Structure 1
Amino acid sequence: MKDVRVTHIGGPTTLIEVAGWRILTDPTFDPPGHRYAFGWGTSSRKLSGPALAAADVEPVDAVLLSHEHHADNLDGAGRKLLARAPVVVTTRAGARRLDGRARGLRPWATTELTAPGKPSITVTATPCRHGPPLSRPVAGPVIGFALRWETQEHGVFWITGDTVLFRGVREVPERMTVDTVLLHLGAVRFPLTGRLHYSLTAAEAVELCRLVQPRTIIPVHYEGWSHFTQGRDAVAEAFAATPDNLGQRLHWLPLPSQGTAG
């Protein structure tokens, strides 16, 4: 996408720079080594640290937070950053838990990012289901984000959020044209629930991108945590096997290198 710069900080955390805006997604800045409980007997250990410290990323104009109740999308250092962010956009339940410091959106609702001297950006919340059918009471609500601004030429910038492939995300290409997709992957699994997965598998990602047909695919949320079961190799292999050359649209951003848990 023209005039957009995306920096991968680690896991789902990216800095999106466009038209003078600095937009941060799912802030995770804790060092590696700690184990985090995700509820219902599940947990994960952080294996690698962020490529940049929060102080190196700030100031930011807005934070897009797909959900605030899992530490691989919002950790302790990320929560401290939220308090300094002028705008936070997240789920309605998340906004309530953040004591009203965020704008809460339900799927397909919109909000505007506005600032003097910058073009406005329309943020549309897109559906997510963070696990198999009927898992929402356990996994909690999640949203993705579609960003639209005046100078876009080919379509929106879409951040999928943590989701599996289901009817809700299949609706995205029916409602909008996507130029670039920030694709949350990892095929998250936990020993407690066996082969059930809670984020896109490589095969699901291929199927989704065939539906969406983005010009640019940026994989994130596939490394740095023990509950990810598919990394870069599995994703690259799945996309390389497609007859329509979807693999040529993959853009791998540099991986975090600041720290690794022993």
Structure 2
Amino acid sequence: MNNRVQPSRQDRAISVLGGPSTVIDMGGLRIVADPTFDGPGAQGYLTKLTGPAASASDVGAVDAVLVSHDLHPDNLDTSGRAFALAAPVVLTGPVTAGRLGSPAIGLPTWGTHRLPRPDGEGELRVTAVPAVHGPEDGARDADGHVNCEVTGFVLSGRGLPTVYVSGDNASVRVVAEISRRIGRVDVAVLFMGAARVAAKEQGRPLTLTSERGSAAAAVLGPAMVIPAHCDGWAHFSEGHAEITRAFGEAGLSDVLADPEHGEWIPLPR
């Protein structure tokens, strides 16, 4: 059986394509988080090292796109933006939605959008959750956000695992707040490449480090953690080796699921 991403859908599975781009098949729906389909090369002040493990045509038709934020090309590049705006709906934060325009819907923090499920089991709920894109004491923009508005997402529905997609979050405090508000998380897709840009926040991490990622996993208690946004760009200071080591030192190796990009990871039932 082909275990690579292609237009035919899985029952319930996730595949990371590289960078933040993640395909989620649940309840008969296909959802893509933070699509980035451009090839390698300079993207403004950032440098992309490798392209995605699957193309937009490999992914095929989708039911919704989740955009954590639109201002940084490592989370939404030119091809990814075109892909997102061609989707039936884009779910993101209110400020980001205002910039993207239709079909983007701006979800306030803790707001929920419901997607009808083709499997006949009701709805898939997509809840917007907070994220802090840098140190807790970082400089705030005009909207009160560190770096910029960033939105995480929690996907849930009857008979489905609850999936958390962190977006570019660097704060374990925020993860603890999500755990208190949402309750049990079965699967966590954590962006934990310890992104650093010398000109921002004295070079301090703008996303989860591997150690903070293992701490976030300890707080959430999921059955599975899937690393994302930890390779493919020059500004990531940590990668798969550091993540594996941190989860091992925390005694959490058994929850880490980290196959090759573009391969499906079956979700727990």
The normalised TM-score by structure 1 is 0.89
Shift of the alpha carbon at 1:166? 4.3
Deviation at 1:18, TM superposition (A): 1.4
| Alpha-carbon contact 2:192-2:207 (below 8 Å) kept | yes
| Deviations 1:106-147 (CA, angstroms, capped at 9, x unpaired) | 211111112555431111111100011233416100010001
2:133 corresponding residue in structure 1: 130
Residue 163 (structure 1) aligns with? 169
Letter in 2 for 1:182: V
Deviation readout 1:152-205 (Å, 9 max, x if unpaired): 2xx511111111124322211112210000111110111224441100001111
Unmatched 5+ residue regions in structure 1?
Answer: 38-42, 258-262
| Larger relative strand fraction | 1
CA distance in 1, matches of 2:125, 2:147: 27
Q: Pick from 86, 98, 105: which aligns with 2:107?
A: 105
Partner of 1:185: 192
Q: Mean alpha-carbon deviation: is it higher for 221-230 or for 52-61?
A: 52-61
Q: 1:80 deviation in Å? A: 1.0
Identical positions, percent: 38
Q: Find out whether 1:174 has 2:190 as its counterpart.
A: no
How far apart, in 1, do the equivalents of 2:223 and 2:130 lie? 21
Question: CA offset at residue 253 of structure 1?
Answer: 2.7
Whole-angstrom CA distance in 1 between matches of 2:115 and 2:262 = 29
1:12 aligned residue:
20
Cα contact 2:39–2:52 (8 A) shared by 1: yes
Q: 1:117 to 1:212 in 2, by over 3 A?
A: closer
Contact 1:129 1:166 in 2 (8 A): no
Measured in 2, the distance between the counterparts of 1:83 and 1:3 equals 25
Partner of 2:169, secondary structure, is coil
Q: Deviations over 1:79-99 (max 9, x none)?
A: 111221001100101110012
CA distance in 2, matches of 1:22, 1:156: 15
1:252 aligns with 2:255: no
For 2:179 and 2:234, the matched residues in 1 are separated by: 32
Instruction: Give the structure 2 partner of residue 121 of structure 1.
Output: 124
Give the letter for the 1:134 counterpart.
G
Change (3 A) 1:157 1:98: same
Alpha-carbon contact 2:68-2:151 (below 8 Å) kept: yes
Structure 1 segments of 4+ aligned residues over 6 angstroms from their partners: none
In structure 1, the partner of 2:266 is none
- What is the number of equivalent residue pairs in this alignment? 246
The residue type paired with residue 33 of structure 2 is T
Q: 1:139 aligned to 147, 151, 165, which one?
A: 147
